[in-house]
Amino acid sequence: MIVIEVVFWIAVGLLVYTHVGYPLLLLVLSRGRRLDPAAALAGEPPPVTLIVAAHDEEEVIERWVSGALALDYPPERLEIVVACDGCSDGTASRARAAGAHRVHELERGGKVAALNAAVADASGEVVAFSDANAVWEPDALRLLVARLASDGVGYVCGRVTFTAPAGAENQEGLYWRYEMAVRGMESALGGITAGNGAINAVRREAFIELAPERGQDISLPFELAKRGWRSVYEPRARASEPMAATIEGEFRRKRRMMAGAWNTILRTGLLSPRGYSPMYALEIYSHRFLRYATPILHLVALGANIALAGSGAIYVVTLALQLAFLAAALLARVVPWRPLLLARYYAAVTASSAVGLWDLLRHGVPRTWESVEGTR
């Protein structure tokens, strides 16, 4: 019984640490070490290639290209590229009509394969990436490029805000604000451990061509860290993007993402500390490994708690708390009260990590993607 108690408290301790203790630790360590705002670009800004990978995005691609052309960046130094990943609709023709400088019509190979092909043909000293349904603020590209001008910085991501229809039950926006706060503190210390696909940029010399089953968001920051580059967060470079209105839609999106994330964690050297600074290693294990292992920790805590239910009042209370949380998540389906919706969102996201791992073990990582109810 002592062994079960030890296992229970370790699981609970790790859950509390990864969600609460780790951000508090970052808060203490990052005091006085905030990154200075990106300086204004001095002299002639570098040429930039802005790339979007698109699969059947005819409904939004014209808006995206028009928005990219309207960015506050010298037009003669900005190349707009659309990489069509096996599009079967009018995405390519509409992108050309909207003014894209280059449109690649590729066989279906997945987002990363499309981005690799586009970067191989890019002319910019900086390559920037966006989602087709993301809308950048006019100064976003200048701010990203200015951050890359800092010594040793190879990758930068901006800040994404989400738009949702009135009455949307998905609580992703609240979680993302928490995530961005953590990302800002990591940026001031060892560097960020993941970016986002909606708004990011990398020095051309630092870019790494990834295998098609990998994701840029989670792979580039740690791969660059092993090569001596820093990856940082620039919160003033902003973009907006629609999110899934329902928690079911968010679950489907994250399930697909988590299969790729687990593949990166388990099969690509992310957990190897070789090449990391001690601070960056702490961030990787705390923010990536433990965060994604949350469903396993919850199952261990619940199973051990059931076995310990007759061993004292404390275990009756902890079991009651766990069961109450699960009940709250279930109740949110019929009572859309904000605290209940938050419980349901957390349960769905946690479950998506477990199901994503299961999908990886059974089927591997899908290289291609389909439109979903909201994307990041």
Give the pair of three-digit tokens for residue 213.
Answer: 């089953």
Share of the chain above pLDDT 90, in %: 78
Q: CA torsion sign, 268 to 273 to 277 to 283?
A: positive
Q: How confident is the model at residue 42 (pLDDT cuts 50, 70, 90)?
A: low
- Residue 17 within a domain: no
Share of the chain above pLDDT 70, in %: 92
Give the separation between CA 146 and CA 234, rounded to whole angstroms: 10
Q: Identify which of 178, 180, 222, 231 has the alpha carbon closest to the alpha carbon of residue 201.
A: 231
Burial 71-103 (b: 16+ CB within 10 A, else e): bebeeebbbbbbbbbebeeebbebbeebebbbb
* pLDDT (0 to 100) of residue 36: 55
Which pTM was predicted? Answer: 0.91
Give the separation between CA 193 and CA 350, rounded to whole angstroms: 19
**Region of poorest pLDDT, from 26-40, 108-122, 124-138, 348-362:** 26-40
- Residue 269 within a domain: no
Give the separation between CA 149 and CA 227, rounded to whole angstroms: 18
| Sequential DSSP letters for 251-294 | HHHHHHHHHHHHHHHHHSSTT--TT--HHHHHHIIIIIIHHHTH
Give the separation between CA 11 and CA 275, rounded to whole angstroms: 29
- Residue 40 within a domain: no
- Residue 307 within a domain: no
Question: What value does the mean pLDDT take over residues 258-269?
Answer: 92
For the beta sheet containing 135-136, the strands, ordered from the edge strand earlier in sequence to the opposite edge, are: 102-106, 78-85, 48-54, 126-130, 199-203, 153-163, 230-242, 135-136
Q: Return the top range by mean pLDDT from 33-42, 298-307, 344-353.
A: 298-307
Q: How confident is the model at residue 376 (pLDDT cuts 50, 70, 90)?
A: very low
Q: How confident is the model at residue 373 (pLDDT cuts 50, 70, 90)?
A: very low
- Residue 152 within a domain: yes
* pLDDT (0 to 100) of residue 272: 96
Tally of domains within the chain: 1
Give the separation between CA 88 and CA 27, rounded to whole angstroms: 48
- Residue 211 within a domain: yes
Q: How far is CA 363 from the centre of its chain?
A: 22
Question: What value does the mean pLDDT take over residues 223-248?
Answer: 91
- Residue 32 within a domain: no
Give the separation between CA 341 and CA 319, rounded to whole angstroms: 21
Of 176 and 29, the structure prediction assigns the larger pLDDT to 29
Question: What value does the mean pLDDT take over residues 54-72?
Answer: 96
- Residue 72 within a domain: yes
* pLDDT (0 to 100) of residue 375: 46
Q: How confident is the model at residue 171 (pLDDT cuts 50, 70, 90)?
A: low
* pLDDT (0 to 100) of residue 250: 81
Instruction: Identify the CATH number of the domain in which residue 122 sits.
Output: 3.90.550.10
User: What does each C-alpha distance from 131 to 52, 135, 240 come to in angstroms?
Assistant: 6, 9, 10
Give the structural domain span for 232.
48-244
Give the pair of three-digit tokens for residue 158.
Answer: 């901006």
* Arithmetic mean of pLDDT over the chain: 91
What are the tens digits of pLDDT across the range 309-340?
A: 989 999 999 999 999 999 999 998 888 888 89
What are the tens digits of pLDDT across the range 81-127?
A: 999 999 999 999 999 999 999 999 999 999 999 999 999 999 999 99
Question: What value does the mean pLDDT take over residues 22-30?
Answer: 96
